[in-house]
Structure 1
Amino acid sequence: MNERFFHWQCFRTPPGFATTKNPVEQINRVLKQDYTAHRLLETGELLQQLASCCSNRSIDVRPFSESPGTSKELLSRVKALRGKQLLREFVLPRMSADFLLVDSRNDVFHVLYTPPNRIYNTTSNSAHEAIQVSAQPVDMVTQTCPCAYHFKYTNCVHRIFAMQERARIDSNGDDVLVNRRVSKRKRAAIGPAPVAAGRPSLVGPALQLE
């Protein structure tokens, strides 16, 4: 660091890419594993392998994802925890000070995870039980959670559970779209103004992230 070379660069790891230090390492891994076979090549042969790598990558038909998505394993985990009733909404008592300071915000959804019962270990003559931590406050505006798993992968079971409870996403992780078009039968009826189909408009716009 103290030598004459000063063109140092620092690659900041984006959220959701926790497998390696930065996206550049992903390219190096493919190049070393598939093209150079972890061998030290000369300049001419290395340039030829780089050209082959670029030509093969240019015809790749797989879509390039610019943001991390929800994995099937995480959706299955949320479904399993929901089936065992280990995930639930935590509501603070109205007479507590925390309700006045924190829970009064409508854009925060508190998700409480209840640890499962541990099996008694006869070898150590003890039972290891997990401590139930406080509820994780999921911000419904930014769709973020303060847990360590979300900080590493930009998604977690708390966020998915909160989005499903607020009817933002379905069981497959897709956005919920609501049809609010008024039916022709109600439109032709004589009387008061027809009521729009779907959920009430006070909940929020259907095709927009709240």
Structure 2
Amino acid sequence: MSSPHTWNLLCSGVSSEDAAVLLQGMMKWKKVKSQLMSSTSCSSGAPHSMRYRLLCCACKHCADAVPYLHCAWRLKVLVCQEAATVDMHELGDHHCRARTPSNSCITLRQRHFIKELARENLVPMRIRHALGPKFGIRPAALPSLRTVQNIVHHFRRTRLGGNDKRKAIMEAVRASAFSGRDGDHDAFTFTSTYDGSVVPEVGNGSDARPFLVGMTTKALLRNSARDPGTFVLHLDATFKLITSQLQREHCAAALVALRCMYARVNGAELQVKFVLGDADKAQHKAFHDVFADRSFTYLMCFYHVVAKLRERSRGLSSELSALVYKGVYDLQFARSEAEFVEQKEAMLKEWAGHADLTAFTAYVKAQRQLRELAVLPHTARLKMGLLLAQLLACCGHRSMALPLFSLAPTCPSTLQTRTRGLRRRGLLSENVLTRSSINFLLGDADPDLVHVRAVPPMRTSVPELNRTREDMAITAQFGVHYARMEFRSVVDDFHEEILVNRKRVQNVGRPQNIDHALQRL
């Protein structure tokens, strides 16, 4: 049946960008209907769909002119889903000719750009600001933050798995579950319990059925198949967990799942000699329960050691507090167990000379070993579905970029680069013992030992950082020159003035000299 209204064709077969420009030039409107239906605006013979949108007037001037009657203006927008063309039909007239600013329409290219940035986990505010330089939009003409938020949240929820729906999460976990046929760098999931068909069981997050899923790769598990005395197993619980609700049973289930998966991949039991955990009784007791058949040393994270020191030393004076921190940090940087024991005895002996440290010394003696392994907690406010995808990708990337495991001290590349830089500047020299030196006369000099004397390089003040920096790396040299140029007006014959300090007037000129590394550019 034909429509009872007489629609006037406004445009036909235009692109989505041109249609967005036309809509932005109209009076203010609002969308009252949007649905998919069979296409009638295209001559294609294949059946396909089109998007039907109906817009009505939302102009304030029309409502003020005739307050008792709705504006009769309507706009019908037909978007072909196959050819991506737009047809517009108009019906009726506005009550008033006065215009109000219309809604800022987001074009198809802008929508794709927003979705690409949403894949990188950028917040909607940053995405909105990125639209300006990308498409040349004035700040006043940018779409509203609410519009960008709607696009980003809908895209994450429908396309990136940014939701907490249990059915979708279970499908994602089971789709990437361990099968034995996975590649070395293919990330897979595993749990502590499986059903009869070797399908991992996933809880619903309640107290009775906690949600527990592990992720790793074969390469990561095989990398830990080595002498247990050469590495430290690090336990951490900082990602997507409420540590106050993390109980002993949860930690035990996670450790059991890890131990079983290690045995399936490597064909041997997980050997642990040193384990580093938080100052948490649940972790400590759970590890003793799961690895009761192993002999290991449980170490405490240095962050929690310092936190406990801060808590226990609040009533001490500033001098005694500094003495306590000095002793603990000396223990942290001990290079061997013998040196650690020696420094600990010296520290306790020094503390014994102060009566105010008697109770604190008794507390420290009751604690276990104080050691540290760098803890870098990473947190992200992501939905569980998107978080699983991000962690699986992280496991795969980490597996392909495994660092070499050294069993002996090695020289890092940064030290080699620094040594070459010092040698080029003539700051390294061999310390030759002269005949008049006491070591030469006593005969204690080892002929196989070479003594190298290093002179520290020149340091330049960087006002922007409020500190000094060595003139070593090229990046540091650029930072030094940039800081020096901030305090003088730089005018080149071919360039405009770019760095000006109006608080201090100096003669115009170039830097008096440049470093050796920049002379070769």
Bucket of the pairwise TM-score, normalised by the shorter protein = 0.3 to 0.5
Greater radius of gyration (CA): 2
Q: TM-score, normalised by structure 1?
A: 0.32
Greater share of helix: 2
Q: Which has the higher contact order (CA 8 A, sep 6+)?
A: 1
How does the TM-score come out when normalised to structure 2?
0.15
